[in-house]
A and B are shown apart, each in its own frame.
Chain A
Amino acid sequence: MNTLIEKTSIGGLEVVLSTRNLGKYFYDPVKFKALDNVSFDAYEGEFLTLVGKSGSGKSTLLYCLSTMDTVYEGELYIKGEKITGKKPDELAAIRNENIGFVFQFHYLLPEFTCLKNVMIPARRLGKYGYEEIEHKAYEKLKILGLQDQALKPASKLSGGQQQRVAIARALINDPAILMGDEPTGNLDSKNSAVVFDIFKEISSQYGQTIIAVTHDNDFAKASDRTIELADGRIIDQDKKDFE
């Protein structure tokens, strides 16, 4: 069942996520190839950004990688395990344990306090008891400098703070991969810088892989590697050549 692909490693780093010949069509309004033969590997502790013009397929690619979009050609592997073809419930469990999400909008549950919002994915996972999860969530908020806001309702915070709470929520289960869809898209430059620093720290200090879609060139430039897409194809995946 679990087809293990050969574990490639560069400089001792393991492949966390890889795609093989990913392709996707949109049928509305006309048949249109959104992704064409996309193959790449993402490594442990790598800060990877996906860039490209609007309509280049970068978000489409991210949602295929996220396991939420299951209608595509080719294969997707996470931690060596073949993801393509798994049932929705299995995918939900994989996301719960291995992937954290940060979107342009924070998507916090407005009725819950920040602390409770952060705790939600961990309580779904059910690996730890309630107190332990509470403690972990508090620690995550502390890392993000939000310990004072922990007991406030999520709706009472500023935009930058809400985005940081969302990051804490994404990190609560210590996922192997953190995915971001324009994570700084709604933030001013100061808050963008804060989020970028957090991402950098997560990848370098905790060894978690970050895959983020962005149109912010400074953000992309400062990442470890940038994959540029155009018309659903990878046209460049070397950071040094990227301008």
Chain B
Amino acid sequence: MKKNINIDIAFTHIYTRKKQTMVAALGVAIGVGMYLFMNSLDAGFSKYSTDEIFKNNAHIKIYKNDEISKPLTTDDSSGLRVIINPQITTLSKKIINPEALLAAVKSQPYVTNAIAQVNFDAYYNRGKAQIKGTGNGVNMIEYAQMFNTDKYMVAGNTEALQGNLNGIIIGSGISEKLSLGINDNITVTSSFGIVKVMKIVGIFMTGSSMNDNTKSYVNISTAQQFIKEGPSFVSTLFINTRDANNPEPFVQKLQQLTSYTVEDWKTSNADVLSGNNTRETMMGAISMAILIVAGFGIYNILSSTIIQKINDIAILKATGFNGNDVVKIFIVEAIIMGIIGTAVGLLLGSVLIAIMSNIYMGGPVGYFPIGFELTLFIRSFILGMLITLCAGYFPARKAAKVDPVEIFRK
């Protein structure tokens, strides 16, 4: 009861105009609720598509890019013109001295995991049936750690490949098309003409047909044999870092270690990310528009309160309330509406998120990818309050400018 007189007046206005307060608060609640829900939806979806990327991509990879022949330098003063047809001059995709580079990369404090990989073009045969794909020579235990391959194994396991130079893990698509199961033999031919009969020790299914229909894993030395290379041949280094979302500074640091191309996942998947950004912008704009409309609700209700209470404002100013006091009274009213509205809105958003996260989408997606994110709750709260404050400030300033003499002389 001993509160400030301005706050007391504000609370009394709110209390005696419950209906209008509730209408204004409901507007904010719907705005904040939809903002939270739509952005959670978007965040969940972005996270899902990023996770899809990380099934096969490390945060950063190092590989030897194709080199283009450069013109021979000519002395311009000689007047001699050299006509050049630029061509790819790469003889081999080999990374020289991969062990040293891998060790150097692993010693970086921000690197959490790094592995070497040997890729080759593979043809999977059974009788006359043939499927074209890619073989990946990896240290399977390290690879599984990095890409969570164990999660996608539908038959056999990743450990079975360890030390088994004749073993292979294939995608479920290959297994289906060639009707080969675990422990069956599969003929693998490389583009270098090497043919090997291998034993299937595992089958994986990631949900992405591009992977499931083409990919296989073998030991690194087996892969080196397929491309007729020695044990020091490595085509790609995969590196995971502490912060997947900001790989750029790490790329710069790693580039100082090697002359090979260092590329982060964002560069490799720019198309997916630009899709994410477009969706984020759209969702953000729509949900922001809803929130702003809610702000107009508060603006309207406060404006009508001020018109109704103009006599009260005049007498308050006559008895010594200054412009600031009047602004405070109406800002406090806006804040009360905002707090009620934002709280209800966060609750509403949570309920929507909870309902949505229980919807089963089937297939590799499973339940709808949406979750509770604290940062989004904080952002929704701050935005809700900010818009309420803006919507309250303008009518409040109008009230502060009421000229009491004009009212009393009527």
Tell me the A residues contacting B by CB distance below 8 Å.
59, 63, 66, 68-69, 88-89, 92-97, 100-101, 103, 105, 107-109, 111-112, 120-121, 123-125, 129-130, 169, 181
Q: How far is the CA of A235 from the CA of B13 in the complex (A)?
A: 47
A140–chain B nearest beta-carbon distance, Å: 14
B residues near A96, Cβ cutoff 8 Å: 319-321
In the bound assembly, the distance between CA atoms of A125 and B405 in angstroms comes to 22
Chain B residue at minimal CB-CB distance from A96 = B320
Q: Which of B290-325 contact A (CB under 8 A)?
A: 311-312, 314-325
- Are the C-beta atoms of B408 and A120 separated by less than 8 Å? no
Q: Is the CB of A68 within 8 A of B319?
A: no
Q: Which residues of A contact B325 (CB under 8 A)?
A: 124
The CA-CA distance from A112 to B16 in the complex, in Å, is: 10
Among A107, A108, A121, A169, chain B packs the most CB atoms within 10 A around the CB of A107
Contact A63 B408 (CB under 8 A): yes
Query: When chains A and B are docked, how far (Å) is the Cα of A107 from the Cα of B410?
Result: 13
Measured CB to CB, the closest approach of chain B to A50, in angstroms, equals 15
12 sample A-B contacts, Cβ–Cβ < 8 Å, listed by A number: A59-B409, A63-B405, A66-B318, A89-B324, A92-B320, A93-B320, A101-B318, A108-B315, A109-B315, A111-B15, A123-B5, A130-B1
Closest residue of chain B to A170, judged by CB? B319
7 closest cross-chain pairs (CB), A and B: A96-B320, A123-B5, A92-B322, A107-B315, A121-B319, A130-B2, A89-B322
User: How distant is the Cα of A121 from the Cα of B315 in the complex, in angstroms?
Assistant: 10
Q: Which residues of A contact B371 (CB under 8 A)?
A: none
Cβ of B399 to closest chain A Cβ, rounded Å: 14
Total A-B pairs, Cβ < 8 A: 71
Q: Which residues of B contact A125 (CB under 8 A)?
A: 320
CB <8 Å contact, B408 and A93: no
A105 to B408, CA, bound (A): 9
Q: Once the chains bind, are A111 and B12 in contact (CB under 8 Å)? A: yes
The residue in chain A whose Cβ has the minimal distance to the Cβ of B400 is A88
A129 to B3 alpha-carbon distance, docked (Å):
11
Is A111 touching B318 in the complex (CB atoms < 8 A)?
Answer: no
A67 to B15, CA, bound (A): 33
Q: Is the Cβ of B317 less than 8 Å from the Cβ of A68?
A: yes
Give the CA-CA distance A108 to B318 in the complex, in Å.
Answer: 12
A101: which of B2, B4, B9, B319 is its contact (CB, 8 Å)? B319
Chain A residues in 8 Å Cβ range of B5:
120, 123-124
B305 to chain A, nearest CB (A): 12
Contact of A88 among B15, B16, B312, B322 (CB under 8 A): B322
Bound: A69/B314 CA distance, A: 13
Which residues from A are CB-within-8-Å of B319? 95-96, 100-101, 120-121, 124, 169
Least Cβ–Cβ distance between B408 and chain A, in angstroms:
6
